[in-house]
């Protein structure tokens, strides 16, 4: 990298593994001399460094979620150059845009895991500041959770009401930790699409009433004349 512009790289791990993180100095920086190299995990210095020509690396055993996080190498000399590795569990994907439906309808929310296979899926509904796990066996008339495959899960919500509106989360469990994705549900009343129509009808009724009253007034005036 270049001075003042640190490099960042995401490293995805779903299970325990031995890995090596390496920082190599680009050819255009070979002129730099007397470099001091510091490896850190967060703010903690890691002292075990393996060095080859213009390359510095560390070997790690990632056994559980406590070993995940950010690891960085910083090369200090005439210039300061750094790179950071973010060790993380796999990301999962749901619908990015809010799901919009109407009262009384049924809606299906989807979550997927690409490349990596979770050991389990869990759906949650947010109630205020609390997340409540959804158990479809306790509320079969309201929820149905379908495991389409090991990497795909569906949450079906039946007979929507305004109370179902809110934030839902799907959570995938991996050996090294859990990954969560939020989705929003918006529930509309059937009156919402009718409002423009009712407004037009109201305007038409008012217009007809005005015309009728004007005609009545005109006839009465003619009769008096």
Domains and CATH numbers, the chain: 7-88 (2.60.40.10), 99-188 (2.60.40.10)
pLDDT at position 225 over 70: no
Short-list 190, 184, 188, CA closest to 109: 184
Which pLDDT score, from 0 to 100, does residue 50 have? Answer: 76
Identify the residue with better confidence: 79 or 159: 159
Q: Name the pLDDT band for 58 (thresholds 50, 70, 90).
A: very high
Which pLDDT score, from 0 to 100, does residue 199 have? Answer: 62
124-172 pLDDT, tens digit each: 998 778 889 999 999 999 999 998 889 999 999 999 999 999 999 999 9
Distance (Å, rounded) from C-alpha 135 to C-alpha 125?
Answer: 11
Short-list 97, 93, 86, 88, CA closest to 114: 93
- Average pLDDT on 105-122 reads 94
- Average pLDDT on 189-195 reads 63
Identify the residue with better confidence: 199 or 29: 29
**Could you give the C-alpha distances from 6 to 47, 52, 84, 193, in angstroms and in order?**
21, 21, 7, 51
pLDDT at position 2 over 80: no
CA atoms within 13 A on the CB side of 8: 7
How does the average pLDDT of the chain come out, rounded? 85
Which pLDDT score, from 0 to 100, does residue 158 have? Answer: 95
Identify the residue with better confidence: 55 or 84: 84
97-106 pLDDT, tens digit each: 899 999 999 9
Percentage of the residues of the chain whose pLDDT score is greater than 70: 84
């Amino acid at each position: 990298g270049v001075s003042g512009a640190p490099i960042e790289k995401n490293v995805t791990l779903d299970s325990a593994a031995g890995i090596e993180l390496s920082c190599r100095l680009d050819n255009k920086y070979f002129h730099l001399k007397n470099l001091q190299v510091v490896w850190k995990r967060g703010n903690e210095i890691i002292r075990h460094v393996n060095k080859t020509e213009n390359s510095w690396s560390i070997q790690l055993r990632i056994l559980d979620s406590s070993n995940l996080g950010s690891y960085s190498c910083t090369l200090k000399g005439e210039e300061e150059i750094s790179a950071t590795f973010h060790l993380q569990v796999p990301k999962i994907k749901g619908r990015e845009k809010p799901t919009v439906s109407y009262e009384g309808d049924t809606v299906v929310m989807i979550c997927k895991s690409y490349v990596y296979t979770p050991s389990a899926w869990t759906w949650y509904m947010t109630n205020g500041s609390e997340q409540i796990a959804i158990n479809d066996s306790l509320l079969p008339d309201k929820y149905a959770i379908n495991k389409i495959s090991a990497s795909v899960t569906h949450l079906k919500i039946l007979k929507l009401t305004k109370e179902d509106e809110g934030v839902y989360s799907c959570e995938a469990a991996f050996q090294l930790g859990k990954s969560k994705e939020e989705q929003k549900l918006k529930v509309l009343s059937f009156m919402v699409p009718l409002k423009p129509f009712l407004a037009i009808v109201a305007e038409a009724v008012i217009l007809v009433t005005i015309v009728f009253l004007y005609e009545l007034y005109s006839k009465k005036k003619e009769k008096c004349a």
